């Protein structure tokens, strides 16, 4: 996927402004459309952006191997369905796995978008999740971006519409740009990683998850993306991640996790020995 070489700006706070009010007379300008998306995206939520997580550590090479292998095998299998949910309690290592998989996808040029939510960057507007996804995907594909720009030109007040309309015109319809490339064998299915959505205080986040799930299993316009969602086991979301047609893995404190903790501690001690003189101890 050829990326646009444009720098993401900081996300503004508050209610989303209608596009025509923000940029009067410029609704057909592609650069202005991207500027608008950048300004309304959530700041500090992408991969390796300041604020994306208080813990930037990835998995160590010998940790969470079974889960990471299962995820990479699923990504490489074009016949598998497009949703994989990983659930687990707080501090079990979900974000570390999510970032490691995001790195893997980025290295293989398959990362479409990656959003990492936490208590520090929590937000209260599911619309801005859609904006941030649309912005990141626009930076991944010029054709996707052109479709989003066209949608903003035709519907300058789209963010006053319901989430279903926003998702349709800013994610689902533009995603056809990826479908053509996949059908030609030019690329593999782009990957979208969502981590920590339970921190979103907007109750309509449940609606957004339903829209994502519906697009994945749509008979008419099936999503070309592979979606990976990392979250706590939210009761309201069980109906999605426990469905038979979706992949699901529960991260628990088992023997592998206990061994991983030992590996992490030993690795930390090695770092201390490298940086601290024995005389200082």
CATH of domain 27-268: 3.40.50
Asked whether the predicted pLDDT for residue 151 surpasses 80, the reply is yes
For residue 86, give the nearest of 275, 263, 240 by alpha carbon: 240
CA distance 101 to 165: 30
CB 227 within 8 A of CB 84: yes
pLDDT tens for each residue of 90-148:
888 899 999 999 999 999 999 999 999 887 766 668 889 999 999 999 998 999 999 99
CB 40 within 8 A of CB 128: yes
pLDDT at 230 (0 to 100):
95
Break the chain into its structural domains and give their ranges. 27-268
Angle at 220 between CA 216 and CA 222, to 5 degrees: 25
Secondary structure of 111-152 in the HEC alphabet?
EEEEEECCCCCCCCCHHHHHHHHHHHHHHHCHHHHHHHHHHH
pLDDT tens for each residue of 208-235:
999 999 999 988 888 999 999 999 999 9
Of the listed ranges 44-48, 165-169, 226-230, the one predicted with least confidence = 44-48
Asked whether the predicted pLDDT for residue 157 surpasses 80, the reply is yes
In 41-145, at which residue ranges do the beta strands (DSSP E only) sit?
A: 83-87, 111-116
Average pLDDT over residues 66-70: 92
**Mean pLDDT, the chain, as a whole number?**
79
CA distance 145 to 38: 12
């Amino acid at each position: 996927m050829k990326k646009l070489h444009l720098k993401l700006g900081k996300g503004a706070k508050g209610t989303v402004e209608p596009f025509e009010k923000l940029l009067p007379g410029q609704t057909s300008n592609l650069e202005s459309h991207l500027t608008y998306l950048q300004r309304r995206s959530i700041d500090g939520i992408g991969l390796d952006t300041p604020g994306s997580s208080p813990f930037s550590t990835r998995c160590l090479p010998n940790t969470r191997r079974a889960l990471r292998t299962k995820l990479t095998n699923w990504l490489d299998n074009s016949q598998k369905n497009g949703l994989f949910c990983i659930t687990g309690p707080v501090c079990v290592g979900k974000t570390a796995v999510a970032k490691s998989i995001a790195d893997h996808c980025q290295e293989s040029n398959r990362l479409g978008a990656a959003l990492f939510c936490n208590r520090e960057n929590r937000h209260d507007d599911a619309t801005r999740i859609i904006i941030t996804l649309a912005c990141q995907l626009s930076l991944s594909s010029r054709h996707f971006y052109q479709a989003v720009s066209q949608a903003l030109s035709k519907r300058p007040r789209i963010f006053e519409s319901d989430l279903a309309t926003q998702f349709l015109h800013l994610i689902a319809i533009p995603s056809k740009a990826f479908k053509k490339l996949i059908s030609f064998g030019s690329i593999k299915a782009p990957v979208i990683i969502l981590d920590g959505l339970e921190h979103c205080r907007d109750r309509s986040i449940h609606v957004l998850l339903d829209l994502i799930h519906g697009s994945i299993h749509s008979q008419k316009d099936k999503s070309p993306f592979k979606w990976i969602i990392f979250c706590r086991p939210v009761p309201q979301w069980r109906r999605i991640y426990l469905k038979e047609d979706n992949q699901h893995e529960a991260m628990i404190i088992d023997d592998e996790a206990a061994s991983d903790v030992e590996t992490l501690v030993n690795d930390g001690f090695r770092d201390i020995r490298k940086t601290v003189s024995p005389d200082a101890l």
